[in-house]
Structure 1
Amino acid sequence: MDVDYRQAFEHSPVAQAIARNRIIMACNRKFSEVFRGTIADLVGQSFQSFYPTQSDFEETGQRVGPFLTADGRFIDDRVMRRMDGDLFWVRVRGLSYTPESSHAHTHWVFTEIAEVERPGQSLRSSLTSRERDVAAQLIEGKTGKEIARALDISPRTVDVYRSRLLRKYNVTNTEALIQKLLQG
């Protein structure tokens, strides 16, 4: 029986992209759904478009490279940006076909993180849905009042969630929290 790998890739229920030097060369339908763009819009895009900031894109590339070189694989939970600008939490798994040149030819899989908590999971994936919502708004640089309006909650509720995040990440201010959220 012949297997049509292109069809399997295109119709996979998991968001996938193939990249060369962090430029999307191919992606499947699920990837286009997750990132809210057409395949034609996404192919040729730098992954930089999907990071909250340019510096986050650069720092992540530097941090991921050694893992791809050493093991050929990488996994991380992170905040990413959809084509419409919305931020969301995603688990990213990567594979380098060229470990000697880590980003030269890679395959990436993306899974939106749900609110389900499991023993042994990472700190970021243990956040509640509302904590992730507030964290994403903080990363965008919004004030407590702006976050409250965007999420249709009170400013006091935003303060409660910000305090929880500060405790979970063991930091004392919002700037340090944002740095921790963007780190691996």
Structure 2
Amino acid sequence: MVLSRQRVILDCNRRVCEIFGTERERLIGQSFALLYPSADEFERIGVRINARMDAHSTYADDRIMRRVDGHRQGELFWCHVTGRALDPTQPLGPGIWTFEDLSAHRSVKTGLTAREREVAARLLEGLTSKEIGKALAISHRTVEIYRARLMRKYQAGTTAELVLKLTLG
């Protein structure tokens, strides 16, 4: 569990440190950007979180995160993230976040681009190309291109097979 304000970690528990392979002192005062595969993904997901929390005060998704230190430093892994704004008028103000490591059930294929990772995460939510396009602010045709790339990389013949392979790793 993490207590944050403006996407900066104010405090966290031991389990979060274990998940990200680091010490509490390393995380306190750091931006959540430290835990993302890229600055671009940190920014894009931040926009989505802000929009979602404006309407609901909560946010949850499965996404790819990055381990910080230790023997698995830099390793990408699937993570279920849930957050709640403590003040509904400040979506990114004080908040509580939980992280669940999904790597035991789902592995990350190396060589995926940031956008491929985002599309993969939305496919796992069961969204259509149009819904993914709307969520990511891109054309549904562009989503279909990324889906086709993912299908090639995972050697999947159908979208259902791709989702299964993404789920199983």
The TM-score, its normalising length taken from structure 1, stands at 0.59
Task: Tell me whether 59-68 or 19-28 shows the greater mean CA deviation.
Answer: 59-68
Q: 2:161 & 2:41 partners in 1: Cα distance?
A: 21
Q: Deviations over 1:142-170 (max 9, x none)?
A: xxxxxxxxxxxxxxxxx975222x84389
Q: 1:29 & 1:98 partners in 2: Cα distance?
A: 25
Q: 1:65 & 1:73 partners in 2: Cα distance?
A: 10
Q: Deviations over 1:96-121 (max 9, x none)?
A: 01221211111000011242xxxxxx
Q: 1:99 aligns with which of 88, 101, 108?
A: 88
The aligned residue for residue 90 of structure 1 is: 79
Q: Which contiguous aligned blocks of 4+ residues in structure 1 show a shift greater than 6 angstroms?
A: none
The aligned residue for residue 139 of structure 2 is: none
Q: 1:39 & 1:95 partners in 2: Cα distance?
A: 21
Quote how far apart the aligned CAs of 1:28 are: 0.3
| Contact 1:77 1:89 (C-alpha < 8 Å) held by counterparts | yes
Q: 2:158 & 2:7 partners in 1: Cα distance?
A: 34
Q: 2:67 & 2:158 partners in 1: Cα distance?
A: 28
Quote how far apart the aligned CAs of 1:89 are: 0.3
Q: Deviations over 1:44-99 (max 9, x none)?
A: 11001111111111110111112212111111000001102111000000000122
Larger radius of gyration: 1
Unpaired segments ≥5 residues, structure 2: 115-150
Letter in 1 for 2:67: R
| Contact 1:52 1:139 (C-alpha < 8 Å) held by counterparts | no
Q: 1:162 aligns with which of 112, 134, 154?
A: 154
Q: 1:33 & 1:41 partners in 2: Cα distance?
A: 12
Q: 1:38 aligns with which of 15, 20, 23?
A: 23
Unpaired segments ≥5 residues, structure 1: 1-15, 116-128, 141-158, 172-180
User: What number of residue pairs does the alignment pair up?
Assistant: 122
Tell me the C-alpha RMSD between the 2 structures. 2.6
Letter in 2 for 1:138: L
Q: Deviations over 1:4-31 (max 9, x none)?
A: xxxxxxxxxxxx1011100000000000
SS in structure 1 at match of 2:154: helix
The aligned residue for residue 151 of structure 1 is: none
| Contact 1:32 1:38 (C-alpha < 8 Å) held by counterparts | yes
